[in-house]
Every structure is written in structure tokens, then in C-alpha cells.
Structure 1
Amino acid sequence: MSTATPGRRERLARLAGAVPVARILALVGVALVLGAFLSVLHEILVVTGEPRRLYYVVGGAILAGTGLAQVIRPRTAAGLGVAGIVVGMYLYVTSLPGGFGFLALLLPMLDDAVALLSGLSVLRIVNADVWALAAAPAPVFLAWSATTLVGVLGATLAVAFGDFDHRGERLRNADGLVVLLSAMVLLTLAVGIVPGAAGSFVSTDGVGTETSTVESSLVYAGDSVAVAGAVELSPEVRYTVEADERAYWRVSTYDRYTGGGWVRTGELRPYQGELQGPPGRNRRLEQTYTAETDIATLPAATRPTEVRNVPVPVQVDDAGGLQPAGPLQAGESYTVVSERPAARSGALREAGTDYPDDVEERYTQLPSSSPERVAERTDRLTANAENPYDTARVVERYLENNYAYSLDVERPRGDIADRFLFEMDAGYCTYFATTMVTMLRTQDVPARLAVGYTPGQRVGDDEWVVRGYNSHAWVEVYFPEHGWIRFDPTPSAPRERTERQRLEEARTADSPAVDTGASVNSEYDAGTPEPRDDENGTPGAGGPGASGGRIDRSSSVDPGETADQETDDGPLSGGSVPLPTPEQAGFGLVVLAGAAAVGRRTGVDRRLYREMWLRRLPEGTPEEVVTGAFHRVVHLEERAGREREPGETARSFLSHSDADARRVGELYEQARYGHGVDEADAAEAAARLAALLERRSRLPHRVKTPETRGR
């Protein structure tokens, strides 16, 4: 019971009225707008650099905006903001390897600015951390200085509540704004703002529900690879390859690790007739690819130096990968000449660590959020390795010998490499390769993820049939004076068995496009034996050169760090439904608020409330039950078109109604003015009301009386 006196209540009411609620909500809108913008920049810096630098830049911009807002005009503030953008972009451009030559790519730069809306696309640009720091201060300064001056800025929320504040409108009339905000969220979920960006608020650390193929998750991934959960194998034939020797047919490489996947940085450039080969000792390999189906990739053995007879325009990425401008049609062919590294293992051991600055910076990057235990375990595993080559071989063999191969895995939340290393027992190539690259980078060994196809089924002395299930991910490690060398930590034997089993299933089911004329009854093995690079001693994992037995994980980890350990945010057992992310929960609340506002504006909420009210009599004495039934009968009569006049008696109002309504009225008068009612009278009133509802209501008529509740 409140003890506030009337005078105190009046003072509290005046104080509440003096609080500028609309203005506060407008400022909240500004904070949300800046928060959304800065959260993207923060995620970029978590992946690419040290996010604390962003805190300093933003804090300085807020202080400058707050202080200068008192002494400068808005037009001057706008000019300072533009100058800040120019200075920031100047610093960014001068940080690039090509300096101002990068201005030739002005349109791609504008694309990157627009791609800020999706975040992930921005990770493709070179020196994304510098870009993020350059982009941060000007918008913060402008928004905060203007906010200090007028108190009403920011996108929809800020403008709308600023208008409410200006016109003095009551906040209870803001349901239209809530509907608008809810519609914006729903449209964002359905339509991507940036071309190529997914219109979804599912976190990149979340778990997808659709099962894809290894091929679609890797070689068709485009600029980014998101590590998936369970995947399937496609037995359909993609290419026939003619070459003097088998090789891994590479499609692309990825350098920037996000913790949940991979991004390929840099821009594509047109192929102009010749490409630079790798340094050191190489051997030439010519390959001719014939598409057996319409396909939008251009595989090539590492490293392509010449492409001939391609039916579509070709673009080249920074790593020398070939990207078609359009799909190849079935039957179309092209030829690639590659220079393959031929360094022997002894030469690689002596290569040293004198890495070029750009290679070391780009290919040793890890998110600042990476757990320390990955580096700690790698330190222990490689303690006896004397050079980067031996470090890579130890990590390769450790993963191959200690983790099983499986396509049926649940994607963990959090950092993929960390969760695979400590909390999973099995995975497929993407997990193995991602983990190996991450482990090597903790040792400052430049490494990257490569995707493409394994050699496929040999059907002739110099011919291979490549199927969808040959899609694969592996690791490339950089060695000074030799370039990029392939390592493959995925266990090859179980993968080959899985591929053969999938092919036999497809053949038994008479599935189309799983064979060519040469692949049926071929005298060669239908499997995918791994190619051995005898010169550098790096066979596919599990191949003839993979020495060393199974490593006892328990001997190299601390107690409690076993691979089958589960944590609350690790792999979910038993098919549990993952909890929503904070973003999902926030968007869900906005959508629910919008639905409630729509209901309020259309009257649906009142109608639903009345329908529920009709069916639920109040608890209490028989008098209270009968009185509740009477009020509901009156509501039914008024809804039918009769309006009760002030002072009109129950008997008069219900005189022209049916017998059930009149009887409830009589019981009401008996309870109100007569000798009272008992339990039997209350039950009769409830039954009469139920009969009325059965005849008149649009919804099921069961009445919840105090006696029937809880049954």
C-alpha cells in the first residue's frame, strides 16, 4: 500500500512530466545508429587487428564533437566531418602497397564503402583495419556534435521521437513508429541490402539447418567460405582433365580468417596473357579441362602461368587463382600451363624465416579474439621442430592421426579451429585445413586455405575424371625462395572410402551424370589416391611419406582439455536447439512489438481480449461469478446492436433477449438486490452464458468457470 501523500504524488508527477522522454528516446536512436555502424567496424578490427585502437578513435571523436558543438555552427561541423573523411581515406590509401595507384580502383573502393552494411564484404579489402579506423571518426563526430546541438538526430527512431518531442505528442501514439521499425526488420531479414549479402540475421557463429555439399561450401563459395555443419557428397562428374601427371586442381585460396570462416582479400584483375610463376625450382605441367556440365569455376594446378582457349573472360586474384566471368557450358574446354614447385624437403627445411613483409602480415593474421589455448597446444606439439617445415609436418601428422574423418558433424559455435582442436573428435577437410592454418599462424608461419579438387578417378595414362565429391580444402605454407607448398592434414583413406561408397550408391540407383564413357569399367582405380610431391616430401596426409604414429593427445594437453570435452557453448549434444544470439533476440523483440502495435491500431488486441474475457468468469464467490456472467451477457447484447441506457435496469435491458440472457439477468438482480445466490445459481449462470456463446460467438464457446480451470 502506497504511503505517498497527495502533495508528494503531485511532486512526483511534475518530476515525471519534466523528464523529456521523447528526447531521451531520440538520443537512444542516435546511439543505436552509431552502435550499428561501429559494431561492424569493431568486428572488422577483431578479425584483422587490435580493436582497442577503435576505442581511442571513437572516444576522441565523441570528445571533439561534444566540445566543439558549443562553439561552432552545424555547417562548420559538417565541413570538419568531410575533412576527417578525406584525411582518413588519405591515410588508408597511403597504407596500401600501391599507394595512390590504387585510385584506379575508385569504383571498387566505393563498393567497399557500401558493403559496410554487410560487414563481411569489407573484410575483402586490403588493410581493412586501417580502412575501419579511417571510416570511424567522421560519422561519430558529425552525429555527436549535432546531437549535442539539437538533441534529435539518428535514423528512423531518432528522427521520429525527435518529431514527437518537437510537437509535444504523447508517446502512447507512437505505435505507428513501432510498426515501421518492425517492418524494417522484417524486410532486412528477407532482402539483402548489399548485392550478394545474405538477407539474414543468423550469426556467422550460428548453426545452419540446411545440408549442403562439400563442393557448394568450398569451390562455389566465391569471396568467402563459411564453415558449415553436416554436408553431403555429390557424385556428379564436373570435369575431365588431361595432364601428364596428377595434381590438386586448385580453384581459389583464402587468406583472412574470421574465426567462423574465410575471406579472400584483394580485387580481381583481368587476365592479360601471362602470369608470374613461383620462385625457386619448378616443373611445367600442361592441363586441358573439359566441362562435363555447366560450371562456373576454372580449376588449375598450382601455379598457373598461362591460360589458353577459355570460352569466357578470365579474371585473376592476388594469389594467381583463375576466376571466370561467366559459367562454362558442358563440352567447352580450356588449357592451363602451370609451374609447380619442385623443392625437396631438405631445401624447405633450410628456407629460413625471412618472409616478405606483405606475406608475413597477410598470412599470419588471426582474430584478436582467438583463444590462447590454440597457441599453447601448438607450442607444446612443435617444441622440438627446428624450422617452419618441420613445424608444418608435425601439425599435419598430428591432425591426421588424432581426428577422424566424418561428414556428419554439428557446426560448433565460436572459433572453428579452437572448437575442432579441443571439443570435436571428427570433421571433414574444411575443419582439418582451417585448424592447421590457425595452428601454424600462432607460430608465425605464413599459411592459407586452398580449395579445389583432388585428382579424381584415373581413366587413362594422362586422363582423370573429376566429380563433385572430389572437392576439397587443404593448406598452403609459404617458404622463402620457394613460394607456396601444399600440405593436407585430412586423413585420406577414410575420405577415399566415403567417396567410393557414394559413387557405388549413385551407380546402383542409376543416378544420371555420375560417369563418362571412360569412367565406366576403367582398368584404373576409381578412387582418389593422393598425389605425392616426392621432391618436397609432402605427400597427402596418410600417403607413403606420412611417418610417425598416432599422437596421444592426453600427453600434450592439460587435464580437462580432451577432445571429447563439451562446454555450454560448444557442440550441442542430442540435437539440441541452439539458443538465439543477442541480435536474433533483439530483432525478435522488435518484431513482437510491431505485431502488438499493429494489433493496437487495428483493434485486434481489444477483440482478442474481449473474446478471452467472455470465456473466463472471475474467481470468487457465487455473487461474483453471477455478476461476471451478467456483464458478459450485456457485452453480447451490445455487440448485437443494443445499447444500454444510463440507469436502465437489467430486467428492462434484457426484456427482448432470449431466455438464457433473461435468466442471467434475473440471477444478477437476485444477487444484487434479492436474497443472494448460491453455488447452484452460479453454475446455472455459467451454463446459460455458455449456451449464448455457442449461438453467438465466432470462437469455440467453452467457458472457463472457477471449477473447470486447471482441468
Structure 2
Amino acid sequence: MSLRLLHRRLAVAMGLTGLLAFAGGAGFEWLSALLATAALIVALFWHPDTELSARLERLWLPLATLLVVRALIHVAVIQDDIVIPVVDLLLLLLAAEALRSLDAPNDLRLYALSFALILASTAYRPGILFLIAFVAYVGLSTVALMVGHLRRQSERHGVREVPLGRGLVVTTGALSGVILLVALLVFVTFPRVSQGWAGRGDTPATSIAGFSDQVSIGEHGSTILGNPQIVLRVEFPDGAPGNLGGLHWRGRSYDRFDGIRWTRSNGLPPSSAPTSWYREEWRGEILEQRIFGSALDTRVLFALHPALEIDSNNGIQPLFDNAGDFLYWGSGSPAYTAFSRASQPPASELRGPSRGYYPSDHFLQLPRRLDPRIAELADSLTAGLDNRYDQAMAIQRHLQSFGYTRQLPATARETTLHHFLFERQAGHCEYFSTAMVVM
């Protein structure tokens, strides 16, 4: 195998691992992901000659222009999530570079595009799939850089082919794995000093219950103690609204419940209710909030729901993710200004919609072992009601008759949802929200 072919295949494989990493964190629109994957797989085995590559270039440029225009429309007109349009453009550019002739000097562009996918995936919810892809990316990039250097030097000195044994390639990849493992051991073993040790830098991230990537109702045998630490400070430049006690703040949302723990899926599609939807459907004045948050281990931006726009005040980059939450790039304590609708639509309007909820296959998951009495209770509470709003209000009124307590259940058996609903009928906020959603 020639150095040119080997180097191109390694660079394309880096793109595939970047694609896998992003899919494991944020997820793709299936059509763009399928087309990009197909193009990269083709690029592993087929490469056009110089003339055909020039013809294809005339095809890629108009398509890229259309995607740039699409991204600008999302920013200026629709004003919703721009991440998906930008990633689609990134995938097109990656496919175009991968399908160029072997003579094309596009090494750095392939490296940069695949690394951009890896970097973008860290802004979402990287899990085990991201870890696997990242380790593979480190190994492939090390070998690709070595082979690319040999290729450039051989072409510079007029050497047509350089014998490259398989053992050298395997050894280089193995060494990158050893380096990665040693770095991991050093990171875990050695004590780490706060970034603010010299009086500068970012505040260390804090872990606070209720501000994480999962929520559990499984704790028992103790009491939830009050925490005096301030995690959010909110100012209303135009004056505080009259219904301070009735404001609804949105932070993290969850869609998977296993009977004890709420978590977030990795495969959620782009948000079905972007900010433009709330601008059109929710009328009323806009409420400005200046928010100063603590540096939490989960990079989430809290705001009154629904938030129409968030402007950074200290350099962070807000992101509207594919579950409808606001996250951010950057480090340190976030400071930002949020603009939200001051009140929800009247009940008469909320009673109207009966269909068109998208997507219907998300946010409706239930645990496999759910006490059948829960469904029977929900049916009895909503009997005779013909719209979803009144049904939800009926369940809410039933739960309002329960008591609130920070005293946790005594045993693990008493932490279940059915014990809360039919026996204890008292609990903390996670129990009430879980019961409301499940019913």
C-alpha cells in the first residue's frame, strides 16, 4: 500500500471516529449522518483522479453555499438551534475533502474537520461511545501524523515509495495508547490544584443536588438538609414581577425513568420546540433577567421558562441543545441575561391542541415494572376530561393534597413511586415531579 493511500485512509478513519463521537454525544439528523457515513466509507476504497476531483469540486461548492445560507437563516430569521445546520455543513466539507484525489494537499483540512467534530461533541453529553471514539481518534491521529510526515518528506526528496512495515504502524498506534493510559493514570493519581490557586483563573466546579445529569428517588434512611450555598442570583432590571412565587425556572430535563432514577437519552432529535415556537405561540410581555450562577459540574443555564434568548455577559457561549435545555461553552461562573415570556397562555388556549405533539416516541418512556395501580389512578383522576390540559390539572390537584417533607423514606422498599402515591403520600419535590410526569 502506498503512503498516499495509507495516509488518506487514516485521515478518513479519523473523520469516522469524529462522526461516532458526535453521534454519541449530541446525535445527528439521520439523513445527514447516513450520507456522511456513506461518503467516508466510499473514501476508504475509492479516490477520483485529478480531473474528476475538479469536477466534483464544482458540485461541493454550491451545496456548501446552500448550507451556509441555511445556517444564516436559522440565526437571523428562525432564531433557533444553529448547531445542527453548522454540523451538517461540517459533514459536507469533511465528505468533500475525503473524496478528493490522492494528490490533493488537504491533510490539514481533514485533520481540522475531524478534530472539530471531536471538539463539538464535548459540548453535549459525552458517554461511553465518545470515550471509545476518542481513544480511537488519538491512536489514528498519531499514526496519521507519522505517515503524513513520511509522505511529505519522501515527496520532497523525490523518493517514490518508502517501505513501511506493518509493525511500525502497529507500534506507533500502541505507543499512543500507552501515552494516553499514562496520562490517565497521572490525572487520577496525582492531586490536582485548583485553577484559582494564584488568585486568578476560574472557580472550581461545584456539585449540587438537583443540578446534575440525573435525579434519583432512591435515597432513604436520612433527612435532606438545607444547603445555604447560593448557586443562582437573579436580578430583574425592569422590576420584580408580582407573582414571584409562581415563576417556573427551567434547567435540566430528563426523559428516561427506570423506576428509581431519571436520566437523559443520547439519541434525542433536535428540539421540537425551538425559541421561535414560543415567540409565536406564547404571547405577552418579555421579562428580562440578569443571572449570576455558580460554576457547577453540569454546564446548564437556568432561566424562566420559556427562555427566548440568552446573552452572555462574561464570554461564555450559550447553546440550545437537542432536549430543549440551554447549555454553555466556557469555564468559570456563568453570568448572562435571559429574556423570557412573563406568563403562559390562558387555559382556554392550552385546552385546544389535541394532536401534533412531536416527537411522539420520546418523553413517553415508562419503566418496565410499574405498579398497575398507578395507571388506574391516573385513569380515575382524568375520567370524563376530553383534553390534555384539564387532565394534567386534575392530576396536579390530586398531588397538591399530599404533604411535603425532606425526611427520606426509612427503607429502600419505601422509596418506590407507588409507595409514595398509595401509602406515604408525602415526599420531596422529586417524588411530586415524578408522579406528575408518569401519570
Larger Rg: 1
TM-score tier by shorter-chain length is 0.3 to 0.5
TM-score by length of 1: 0.30
TM-score by length of 2: 0.47
Greater relative contact order (Cα < 8 A, sep 6+): 2
